[in-house]
Amino acid sequence: MSTPVRTLMIGPYAQEFAEVAGLSDGLPSPDVRALTIDGKGRLWAGTASGLAVRENNAWRAISPPAGLVNCLLVQGDVVWAGGVDGLYRVSATGESQQIELGERAGPVVALASDGAGRVFACCEESLRIVQGERVQAVPYPPPVIFPRDAEFVNGRLYIGASEGIRAYDGKEWQTVTKQESGLLSDDVRDLAVDSQGTMWVATGAGLCLFDGGKWCEQITGKEGLPWEDLLSVALGPGGVRWVGSTMGAMKLQEGEWHYYFGRRWLSGDEVRAIALGNDGTAWLGTPTGVSRVYTKTMTLEEKCAIYEEIIRLRHNRNGYVASCGLQRPGDLSSFIYEATDNDGLWTAIYVGAESFQYGATRDPQARELARESVYAMMDLEKKSTLEGFPARALVHKGERVIKSGGEWHDTADGKGEWKADTSSDELDGHYFAFAVYYDLVADEKEKEDLRGTVSRITDHIIEHGYYLVDVDGKPTAWGVFAPEMLNGPWEGQRGLNSLEMLSHLKVAYHVTGDEKYQAAYLDLVRNHHYALNIIYQKTTLPGDVNHSDDELAFLSYYPLVKYEDDPDLRAIYLRSLQRSWEIDRPERNPLWNFIYGALTGKDCDANLAVQTLQEIPTDMIEWAVRNSHRKDLPRDPEFDRFRRPQSLTPLRADERPIAKWNSNPFAFDGGGDGRGEDDGAYYLLPYWMGRYFRIIAEESR
């Protein structure tokens, strides 16, 4: 085992969170049209059914106005609200006064201020300038326009409209259109002005930076804008820009765009209004409520505590750690345990995580959690009624649990049921977890129990000619490791299954010390070229690229390379590992990277692995995610041919569906309807492995 060249010190970072509010939270309507923040930090929302203010973390309706509120403006201690009922001045105490705008003013659709006391109320048919008690009516120039937003800058009022931008200097109107200025579209939806007087213009075809005269720079998908059909724009502290669209929200920060789509982040995907707090919090108004996206400074270890709490509350079922179902979308109180197809594998991920945590910190709680779950895993073999055959899952009769479909059998004592047709996935998890627990946690009694379980499983496989044979006397669908198959018709699985079998035998020899397992191992190496088989185990196009196989391979590499001390075999295994990692390297996968770094001592892109760990959301609910419409992501033409569209580059972890490391990081779309929650153990394993091998270390706060 190699020691990493150096340890990457990592400090606190800004973790993003989100929450939503709607009708049940006190909004007069979930249909939000305008948002603003006053000088006291209070959030105001204009909705389809009136005005509301959020203070002391609670919403309170303000009436009047009671009808549709289109726009809001803060002017000192006053909030101006414009809508179908006209214009209202609202005091700091919430008292409303309607402003008489004169005949045929119509609804107010946009508001602006010159900073010297004048308020510009853009009505549907004409402009009203309000100063004190005086109201001046100014007709719009032809042709007819439909105002959307207004800003006052450098002595001029600019109105973004359906027919471009209208500029008014108090005497004359000027029309600014796509043809004259380089605007992406005359369909202007929103305006925002920065400290230099540059207007950020949201249009139906992208974002424009406009100097107020004849010069405009365009930002579209080619320049990294994820979606171009924009509705709103807001400028925040530190140069951060937020843009709302018909398909989610986008944030420009330090030159990079971040994309927010779906219920993980938003109450709805049509983001009409944005308000930004001085602390960087973004409030996003949609037709179905207000979303709050905010950050907390934390360490990666503190993030671990969030997932540990999630697991404790909803995912540890008698030691088995896996996803859970939600009977109502997004409602965590409605959870119900699941017995999944891969309870053994997912629990193994958790056992590995807690074992590495114990190895790194000697935390007794980590030891107890690892012990509970590793004994639950051993029960999968003990209670399957077929010696040496680990069940996929095990449930107690009468237990409130969702059982996955498939073949279930009664346990020998009749008190439970176990699931058959165990996959090679499960075996990989068992041998990986048993090896890590044996090395880092187990006392002598636990080591003896592990020896018994590992011996029975391995003997079953060897005695059946390197097949995992089910209760029906037939091999399971993927439990095939026999030379006549891997060196014959199973060419597609040759490399991976050879790797798995060698790894399992090496673990069995390491744990038990029984020479028969080493003899079986060497027989497969010398007489059936299993070691040579694994050099090219990583499948690439035009073969079937299976990201689940990557997970199985790296879990198998870990004990095989760790326990093998023969230099000739290590040369082969390390070549295979190097090739696999180089192919997967662009994914920034922390588990692959840290396994590679732990086994080789080489640079493993620890900084990129940490970036992925930071990006993983703390919300583990399985919400739907869509990216296939985006303009900034390069499409992979090979996968378009197979009607499986994906990106040429991996998506950020917070922009793709919640999924374990067996998922495709290039896939555009995925997720569910919020009726499930992942356990988060997939985050814990690479983090604590990186800590144990000192690939990473946390700076003290």
Spatial distance between the Cα atoms of 54 and 280, rounded to a whole number of angstroms? 17
Q: Determine which helix (DSSP H) or strand (DSSP E) holds 11, and give its type and residue range.
A: none
Q: Is 271:231 a contact under the CB 8 Å cutoff?
A: yes
Structure confidence at residue 542 (pLDDT): 66
Spatial distance between the Cα atoms of 314 and 305, rounded to a whole number of angstroms? 14
In order of 159, 250, 260, 277, the CA distances from 235 in angstroms are 18, 12, 17, 10
Parallel/antiparallel/unpaired status of strands 206-210 and 241-245: unpaired
Q: Which long-range contacts (CB under 8 A, 24 or more apart) does 503-507 make?
A: 503/428, 503/431, 503/556, 503/557, 503/558, 503/559, 503/560, 504/427, 504/431, 504/458, 504/461, 504/556, 505/458, 506/559, 506/560, 506/563, 506/564, 507/431, 507/434, 507/435, 507/454, 507/559, 507/563
Spatial distance between the Cα atoms of 89 and 108, rounded to a whole number of angstroms? 13
Spatial distance between the Cα atoms of 143 and 544, rounded to a whole number of angstroms? 59
Q: Is 63:57 a contact under the CB 8 Å cutoff?
A: no
In order of 21, 161, 231, 605, 660, the CA distances from 13 in angstroms are 26, 40, 31, 18, 23
Tokens describing residue 91: 């005091």
Spatial distance between the Cα atoms of 87 and 290, rounded to a whole number of angstroms? 23
Structure confidence at residue 700 (pLDDT): 79
Structure confidence at residue 4 (pLDDT): 59
Spatial distance between the Cα atoms of 250 and 362, rounded to a whole number of angstroms? 43
Structure confidence at residue 104 (pLDDT): 83
Structure confidence at residue 103 (pLDDT): 84
Structure confidence at residue 182 (pLDDT): 86
CB atoms near residue 558 (< 10 Å): 25
Q: Which residues contact 66 (CB under 8 A, 6 or more apart)?
A: 28, 49, 50, 85
In order of 334, 339, 407, 410, 411, the CA distances from 397 in angstroms are 21, 12, 15, 9, 10
Return phi, psi of residue 13, to 5°: -145, 175
Q: Is 556:499 a contact under the CB 8 Å cutoff?
A: yes
Over residues 116-164, the pLDDT tens digits come to 899 999 998 899 999 988 999 999 988 878 899 999 999 999 999 999 9
Over residues 193-248, the pLDDT tens digits come to 999 999 999 999 999 999 988 789 999 999 999 999 999 999 999 999 999 999 99
CB atoms near residue 499 (< 10 Å): 29
Q: Determine which helix (DSSP H) or strand (DSSP E) holds 585, and give its type and residue range.
A: none
CB atoms near residue 482 (< 10 Å): 18
State which amino acid sits at residue 541. L
Which domains, from first to last, does the chain contain? Answer: 15-298 (2.130.10.10), 300-698 (1.50.10)
CB atoms near residue 490 (< 10 Å): 16
Helices (H), 601-666: 606-615, 637-641
Helices (H), 383-482: 424-440, 444-463
Parallel/antiparallel/unpaired status of strands 335-339 and 401-403: parallel
Q: Determine which helix (DSSP H) or strand (DSSP E) holds 505, and give its type and residue range.
A: helix 494-512
Structure confidence at residue 562 (pLDDT): 98
Spatial distance between the Cα atoms of 511 and 419, rounded to a whole number of angstroms? 27
Q: In which residue ranges of the chain is pLDDT below 70?
A: 1-5, 542-543, 641-643
Nearest Cα neighbor of 632 from 286, 252, 183 is 252
Spatial distance between the Cα atoms of 307 and 681, rounded to a whole number of angstroms? 7
Structure confidence at residue 203 (pLDDT): 97
Spatial distance between the Cα atoms of 675 and 338, rounded to a whole number of angstroms? 12
Spatial distance between the Cα atoms of 441 and 111, rounded to a whole number of angstroms? 66
Structure confidence at residue 701 (pLDDT): 72
Largest CA distance in the chain: 98
pTM over 0.75: yes
Give 166-202 as a 3 state SS string: EEECCCCEEEECHHHHCCCCCCEEEEEECCCCCEEEE
